[in-house]
């Protein structure tokens, strides 16, 4: 059975420098960092992240999730988090494997392997789960297929399906099962999250998101906070601020224009929210990030 050392070696071979690397396998990315990184905002899509070496922290609102080779992370819905590598060195870089979760394949597995008991409550949108030897073995064999491109088409779908099966039947299986079950609380919240992400710039009523989820306002707020660790308004604010930060850093928009573009009507309100979340006024923070980007800034990494 393949070990973590084998998985780390295969990731390192196909991720030879710092950054996030796409692979010929759809939805599969390799991530490497030789140094700890600054906390950076990123949207975690439904995915699983298996760490082969090093350690990373994801902040979801006030909650910190620290994951390493002993625990893998599942993101069940699109969540705005602050992510940073907290353990890495040139000799032992952070190395991880990210796999987007295929809901169609999960749904087929759920039909073949029904739950012994239904999950009723909406679980947290980010969860940490024990990394098992069978999961590491399957992940290592998947990355090993990159060294045999002639085998990818035939064997990669089978190995990806095995990984989904390991997720479904192992620690955290209830969360994975809810993700692909259309009438679960988690799926209802996921639909509302997609709606908010499509309309976060607009002065829309959050009650409309509750209607999309098919819940009463009070029930929606309760389950939304359980999944995201924040209220719907706080979630929308995080989306707005992350996009405004990107606009200021990459498109050189001034703070007032960035705030207006993402839905703020008051520059002072935007500045207060921004300073509270990122710890600095918008112009100061954006200037620091632009300077770091032009210098030797750590890479922005996916989960």
Domains, the chain, ranges and CATH?
4-179 (2.60.120.10)
Predicted local distance difference test score (pLDDT) of residue 301: 43
Name the band, by pLDDT with cuts 50, 70 and 90, for residue 292: low
E-strand ranges in 76-215 read 79-87, 94-100, 126-130
Predicted local distance difference test score (pLDDT) of residue 32: 97
Predicted local distance difference test score (pLDDT) of residue 231: 93
Q: What is the DSSP string of 81-120?
A: EEEEEEE--SSS-EEEEEEE--HHHHHHHHHHS--SS---
Long-range CB pairs of 244-251, under 8 A, 24+ apart, other chains included? 244/270, 244/274, 244/282, 245/41, 245/274, 245/278, 245/282, 245/285, 245/286, 245/289, 248/282, 248/283, 248/286, 249/286, 249/289, 249/290, 249/293
The two tokens of residue 203 are 């002065």
- Return the bridge partners of 43, or none: 80
The pLDDT tens digits for 46-71 are 999 999 999 999 998 888 999 999 99
Entry pTM:
0.84
Q: Quick one: average pLDDT of 241-258?
A: 92
The two tokens of residue 204 are 């829309």
Model confidence at 113: pLDDT above 80: no
Predicted local distance difference test score (pLDDT) of residue 66: 96
Predicted local distance difference test score (pLDDT) of residue 117: 55
- In this structure, what DSSP letter does residue 147 have? G
Model confidence at 12: pLDDT above 60: yes
Q: What is the mean pLDDT of the chain?
A: 88
- 51 or 182, which is more confident: 51
Name the band, by pLDDT with cuts 50, 70 and 90, for residue 239: very high
Name the band, by pLDDT with cuts 50, 70 and 90, for residue 298: very low
Q: Quick one: average pLDDT of 118-143?
A: 85
Name the band, by pLDDT with cuts 50, 70 and 90, for residue 116: low
Q: Quick one: average pLDDT of 169-180?
A: 81
Name the band, by pLDDT with cuts 50, 70 and 90, for residue 119: low
Model confidence at 300: pLDDT above 50: no
Predicted local distance difference test score (pLDDT) of residue 176: 83
Q: Quick one: average pLDDT of 282-300?
A: 68
Q: Closest Cα partner for 76 from 213, 156, 188, 166?
A: 188
Q: Tokens 């710890």 map to which residue? A: 279
The two tokens of residue 242 are 């992350």
Predicted local distance difference test score (pLDDT) of residue 40: 83
């Amino acid at each position: 059975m393949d070990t973590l050392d084998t998985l780390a070696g295969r990731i390192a071979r196909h991720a030879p420098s710092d950054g996030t690397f796409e692979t010929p396998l759809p939805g599969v990315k390799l991530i490497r960092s030789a140094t700890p990184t600054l906390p950076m905002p990123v949207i975690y899509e439904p995915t699983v992240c298996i760490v082969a070496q090093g350690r990373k922290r994801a902040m979801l609102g006030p909650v910190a999730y620290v994951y390493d080779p002993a625990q893998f992370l599942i993101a069940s819905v699109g969540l705005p988090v602050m992510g940073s590598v907290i353990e890495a060195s040139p000799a032992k870089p952070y190395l991880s494997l990210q796999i987007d979760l295929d809901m169609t394949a999960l749904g087929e597995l759920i039909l073949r392997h029904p739950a012994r008991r239904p999950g009723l409550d909406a679980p947290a949108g980010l969860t940490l789960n024990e990394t098992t030897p069978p999961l590491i073995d399957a992940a290592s064999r998947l990355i090993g297929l990159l060294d045999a491109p002639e085998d990818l088409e035939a064997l990669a779908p089978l190995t990806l399906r095995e990984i989904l099966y390991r997720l479904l039947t192992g620690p955290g299986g209830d969360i994975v099962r809810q993700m692909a079950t259309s009438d679960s609380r988690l799926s209802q919240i996921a639909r509302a999250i997609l709606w908010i992400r499509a309309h976060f710039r607009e002065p829309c009523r959050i009650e409309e998101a509750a209607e999309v989820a098919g819940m009463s306002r009070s029930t929606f707020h309760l389950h939304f906070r359980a999944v995201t660790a924040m209220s719907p308004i706080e979630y929308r604010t995080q989306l707005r601020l992350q996009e405004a930060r990107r606009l200021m850093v990459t498109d050189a928009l001034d703070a007032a224009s960035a705030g207006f573009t993402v839905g703020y009507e008051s520059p002072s309100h935007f500045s207060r929210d921004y300073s509270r979340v990122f710890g600095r006024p918008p112009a100061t923070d954006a200037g620091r990030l632009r300077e770091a980007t032009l210098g030797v800034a750590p890479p922005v990494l996916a989960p």
